[in-house]
Structure formats: C-alpha cells, structure tokens
Amino acid sequence: MPLLVPETKKRFPKPEPWRLAGREFDWGARTYVMGILNVTPDSFSDGGRLDPEAAIAHALRMIADGADLIDVGGESTRPGCEGVTAQVELERILPVVRALADKGIVLSVDTFKPEVADRALHAGAALINDISGLRDPEMLAVAKRHQAPVIAMHMQGTPQTMQRDPRYADVVSEVREALEAAARHARDMGVQVMVDPGIGFGKTQEHNLALLRHLNRLHVAGCPMLLGTSRKGFIGNLLGLPVNERVEGTMATVALAVSQGVDVVRVHDVKEASRTVRVADAIVRGKQ
C-alpha cells in the first residue's frame, strides 16, 4: 500500500489511463519521465541540435536513461526569445519526429501553432504540448481530428512578454482556475487533457515557489498533471548557479512533484530524474 497519498489525490478520482503510440499510461500508478528534445539553436539550456541525426541520437540516449516519452520542440520559448515561422519549426522537427516515431517512441510536439501540431501528428507524434494553454481554438480542432490528447500549460503573456511585471492577486487560485477552464474547454470538444501550471512562464520567483509549495491545490479532477521545472531560472536564483549546474536543484523539485501526485515530470537530465522518481515513488506510492 502507498505510504503517502496527497490530499488532492484522495479527493479526486484517478484519471483514466491514456493509450499513446500503443503504450498505456496508467496515471496515478507512478510518475512518468518526459525527456526534453529541443531542435533549436538557442534553447533555454540545451539547444544546438539542429542536425537531425544529433537530435535523434540524443533522444535515444534519453530513452535508454529511462525516459517514458520525448517532447520535441522546434522553437525556443525562453523569456524574451524571438519566434520562428511554422515552416522553420516544421523543417526542424519533422525529420526527427518521423525517425523517432518509426522506432516506436512516444512523442509529444511542443508547439502552440495548430499547423505545426497537425503536421507533427501526421508524422507520428502522439500528443500536443501547448504552452499557450489552448488559446488558439484551432488547436483543439487539430487534436480532435487526430484523436490526440493535449497538454494545456498556464502562461501569462507570450514568451516575448511574459516577464514584464506579471501580476496576480492569488497566483495559486488564478492558475488553478485557468487550468480548470482549459480542461473544460478541451473536454467539451471531446479531447483528453493534461494540465501544467507553467513554472517560469509569466511568474516571478515568489510566484514559482508558491505554486510549487501548493501543487496539491493545482490538480484538476480527472486530468493528469505535468510539471516542468528543469534547470529553470528560479533554481539558478536560489543557488546562484548557471543552467548547466542546476541538476540537483531540479531533482529536489522532481521529488517534490512525486510527493504531490504529479503524473509527468518534464526534464533535461533524464538519468538523474528517473532515479529520483524511482526512489520517491517507492516512498510515496509503495512502487518498487
């Protein structure tokens, strides 16, 4: 029997399992690890894999290290970044998506452009990771057409504007309400949805810490939850360290996520995260 069960998980029914690329994801049974694959020249912390062969090799290393699925993105979303066209995004990701899908790897496409999501799903991706929280109504139409689930993330503003003095009266309540609204919208369209509080996206240091402190309040009934904290700025601010030295800080948040019933952690450092999750799941869920 699990030793610790977050209070929110006691109140909410367990989300129904999802089947992605022939694999079942049994939400609540354990925490899954999503590896980040940025096919960009200027990603937040691991860009430069514009060569498809290099990107594919990195994805395969992450799978060997314990990733359950890979999130492929062709546009940097770091604060203040410049956007790219859908065509550029597609040129970057499609060869990688096709090659990895052919190997049976479960893939999500990290994009807020419906046309990019549509082509990536055609190429073999299994779900959409939308940092805009489904602001474009066409995104849900694409998801429904492909019968693909979506990840709806909370973000204030856009990647270009999100750090301009973000304001909340109560960040935890407001983020939860936004996630609930996005989930309702997706369900009304008949689309399965996962929620993500969007750590670092239009939040200050204090906002990020408050959200992490109250993850148990951010669950949406019937929806799995994803958390992405990997190497983010709030960790660097706490430790006074650059992006390549934030692994231990990231793993602290991964263990916290497991303890609060998070279903997927999105990380750069897959080997370390997989080991952290395995130990934390044994403690929290009795999963060995």
Judge whether 283 and 254 are in contact, CB under 8 Å.
Answer: no
Asked if residue 97 lies in contact with residue 89, where contact means CB atoms within 8 angstroms, the answer is no
- At 79 the pLDDT is 63
Q: Is the pTM of this model over 0.75?
A: yes
Q: How many CA atoms lie within 13 A of 209 on its CB side?
A: 10
- Does residue 266 have an active-site annotation? yes
**Residue 232 among the catalytic residues:** yes
The predicted structure's pLDDT at residue 47: 53
The CATH architecture assigned to 7-284 reads Alpha-Beta Barrel (3.20)
> Per-domain residue ranges for the chain?
7-284
Q: Say which of 203, 231, 232, 285 is annotated catalytic.
A: 232
Query: For the segment 212-249, what is each residue's pLDDT rounded down to a tens digit?
Result: 999 999 999 999 999 999 999 999 999 999 999 999 99
Give the per-residue pLDDT at 1.
Answer: 43
pLDDT tens track for 126-155: 999 999 999 999 999 999 999 999 999 999
Q: Which of 49, 92, 203, 266 is catalytic?
A: 266
Element (H, E) at 146: helix 137-146
- Other beta carbons within 10 angstroms of residue 41's beta carbon come to 11
Strands 193-196 and 18-20: unpaired
pLDDT tens, position by position, 41-80: 865 555 556 789 999 999 999 999 999 999 999 997 766 6
Cα–Cα dist 260/77, whole Å: 26
Strands 193-196 and 226-228: unpaired
How buried is 134 (Cβ within 10 angstroms: 0-12 exposed, 13-18 middle, 19+ buried)?
buried
User: What proportion of the chain, given as a percentage, has pLDDT over 90?
Assistant: 82
